[in-house]
Homo-oligomer: A and B are copies of this chain.
Amino acid sequence: MADMAKQLAGIPLFSGLLQAQYEALSRISLKRSFLKGERIFSEGDEGTGFYVVAGGRVKIFKVSMEGKEQILHLCRPGETFGEVSVFTGQGFPADAVAALPTTVLFFPRAAFISLIRQDPALALNMMAQLSKRLREFAGLIEDLSLKEVPGRLAKYLLYLGGLDRNDAVALDVSKGQLAALLGTIPETLSRILTKLNHQGLIRSQGAQIMILDRRGLEEIAQEGKRLP
């Protein structure tokens, strides 16, 4: 139980809480594991609580009638998902599937809310979490509506390359999933990658991509410059 508390302390949502809170949290939480591809919940399911990713990765997404999917978020360890329905009382707004072998902690709604009532720090953390997600979504909406696919891809590559100021980046998702993340389809993504290669902006080989011209990518990502 003590190491459980230590594990919880490393999660942003639970940072800076009192010791008693960690014990309470570990008491109410349930550990669940999923195989890669296994569904965690579906859109519309009743939300009886929310989740924190302990290990693996969880894909939150919407699916169209024709089967095309738009990824809303890829949750990595320490991130939460399913919180929305805890506070609105409605069903989950999207689907959740394990994108890798995944372990999550589940926090039942009622018990968690009563903890929030007791500890304002937990409430503030949760609000920060929701706000961060809201900001991300606003960015995604902006990208989908105001940028073309090359712009979104360039932005993503720069994001990957900006993490460690490294020009050699490795895609951490399959290209099909990257397409769904960028709001397009694998064919289009493949064509644009080819163009970027041809233009000398990147050199890509499988999931390994070298950023050759940062400035060029920035022009595409920010100013919407066209690819010849």
Q: Which residues of A contact B (CB under 8 A)?
A: 62-66, 68, 70, 72, 83-88, 90, 93-94, 113, 116-118, 120, 123-124, 126-128, 130-135, 137-142, 144-147, 183, 222-224
Contacts and interface: CB of A to CB of B under 8 A. Distances in A.
B139 A141 contact: no
Contact of A141 (B72, B84, B88, B118): B72
A72 B223 CA distance: 21
Contact of A120 (B66, B116, B222, B224): B116
Q: Find the residue from A90, A126, A146 having the highest chain B CB count within 10 A.
A: A146
Contacts of A87: 124, 127-128, 130-131
A45 to B, nearest CB: 14
Overall SS of chain A's interface: helix
A40 B132 CA distance: 22
26 contacts: A62-B138, A62-B141, A62-B142, A62-B145, A68-B145, A68-B146, A70-B142, A70-B145, A72-B138, A83-B131, A84-B131, A84-B134, A84-B138, A87-B130, A93-B135, A94-B138, A113-B124, A118-B120, A120-B120, A123-B127, A130-B130, A137-B137, A137-B138, A137-B141, A140-B141, A144-B144
Contact of A223 (B65, B83, B145): B65
Contacts of A183: 144-145
Given A65-B222, A83-B131, A84-B134, 5 more contacts: A64-B224, A84-B131, A117-B120, A126-B127, A130-B130
A223 to B, nearest CB: 5
Interchain residue pairs A-B with the least CB separation, the first 5: A64-B146, A123-B123, A70-B145, A87-B131, A137-B137
Contacts of A113: 124
A133 B135 CA distance: 11
A123 B135 CA distance: 19
A65 B73 CA distance: 25
